[in-house]
Structure 1
Amino acid sequence: MENSLKSSLLISVIVVLNIIVWMVLITALGLGAMHLNDCPLQPYIPIYLVVIGATSIASLLLFYFNNTLDTSYFSLLSSSTIILLQLFNLGWFIAGSVWVYSIHTVNYDATAGEKYCKRAVYLFAFWFNSLGSICVAMVCTCGLYCVLLTFVKMAFRGQHLFHSQNRCYGVDA
């Protein structure tokens, strides 16, 4: 009974996180597309939102499609495309961070001529990048923690990470 409760709780959390991610990506795509010319101070910000939204949505769709496939040519092609899209998204995220954070003072008034950016576009891009950076840092920290924990557990059990020529089937020669 307890395993089924944990399993249903895990599935519920994954579904809720999935819905949140989809909402954020669709908002990025739509906000960037609607206000494509509303940020002359840094015209790449709306383009950044459109591209990161579209490529991330495509990557998610391919991931879902890939989970329905058996090991085949299409699965390999889909996995390769997902990896390439994620590498592109990483580079695009870094470029978007440069574009967003390069603006120190933002004028939100459209009557200011060429030195303004639409408030909703800039603030969404700013918080998208800030929260994205926090999430990446948390994932890297948790991953490093898991690797370190694995090494410590192996050391306490007397297991070796790498094969040694001086040992034969786990017994020192």
Structure 2
Amino acid sequence: MTAARARTGQVVGTVSSEVTITGHEKICIWATSLIFGSVPVAMIVLGILDYNLCPGDTRLGIYMVTQGATSVAIPILCSLWYCCQCVSETLLIVCCWVIGLFNIGWGITGTVWISESTCKNTDLYAHAFYCTIPMWILFGILALIVCVTMRTV
């Protein structure tokens, strides 16, 4: 085990000998996790609060809660791996691929459900619609990160 040291010589983070994380990198990782985790948390909260706004069609609430719950898992796993090595790298990669593929399929399903919704004048529809757009943008950003990372390996 090695310790990353700031310019002042203080220990900032301890990780395996293969990965050294400085104070700035740790802040960047937490900020990225916060950004990538905020939309899914909003989807969970809004999906739960607005679930009964469309009594004839509960699919939008189910979509939002499920999409948010599975999407928030990836930033949490990445933060645990980068900051404290609490998750093995192999487990992280497998979980991210499984969750990512599920989220793409579930996102397509949710997008179809939003377009077929019978309650387009409710807050639930508006929240589902306006949370889905950033989710697709985040999926695109993550796909670019994966492509660039795999290309450099």
TM range, smaller chain: 0.5 to 0.7
Q: Distance in 2 between matches of 1:54 and 1:48?
A: 10
Whether 2:142 is the aligned partner of 1:128: answer no
Distance 1:61 1:51, change over 3 A: same
Deviation at 1:50, TM superposition (A): 0.6
Q: Distance in 2 between matches of 1:140 and 1:50?
A: 23
Deviations 1:71-105 (A, max 9, x none): x9x32123211211111111111100000112377
Percent of pairs with identical residues = 25
Equivalent residue in structure 2 for 1:52, among 67, 73, 79: 67
Range with greater deviation from structure 2 (59-68 or 24-33): 59-68
TM-score (norm 2): 0.62
Whether 2:37 is the aligned partner of 1:22: answer yes
TM-score (norm 1): 0.56
User: Structure 1 stretches of 5 or more lacking a match?
Assistant: 1-7, 109-118, 151-173
Q: Distance in 2 between matches of 1:37 and 1:88?
A: 25
Whether 2:103 is the aligned partner of 1:85: answer no
Deviation at 1:130, TM superposition (A): 2.5
Distance 1:18 1:47, change over 3 A: same
Tell me, yes or no, if the aligned pair for 1:42 and 1:99 is still in contact at 8 Å: no
Distance 1:130 1:37, change over 3 A: same
Deviation at 1:21, TM superposition (A): 3.2
Distance 1:24 1:99, change over 3 A: same
Q: Distance in 2 between matches of 1:66 and 1:138?
A: 20
Distance 1:23 1:97, change over 3 A: same
Say which one has the larger Rg.
1
Deviation at 1:11, TM superposition (A): 8.0
Distance 1:123 1:136, change over 3 A: same
Deviation at 1:20, TM superposition (A): 3.5
Q: Relative contact order (alpha carbons < 8 A, sep ≥ 6): 1 or 2 greater?
A: 2
Distance 1:69 1:84, change over 3 A: same
SS of the residue corresponding to residue 45 of structure 2 reads helix
Tell me, yes or no, if the aligned pair for 2:44 and 2:65 is still in contact at 8 Å: yes
Q: Distance in 2 between matches of 1:50 and 1:79?
A: 24
Tell me, yes or no, if the aligned pair for 2:37 and 2:71 is still in contact at 8 Å: no
SS of the residue corresponding to residue 65 of structure 1 reads helix
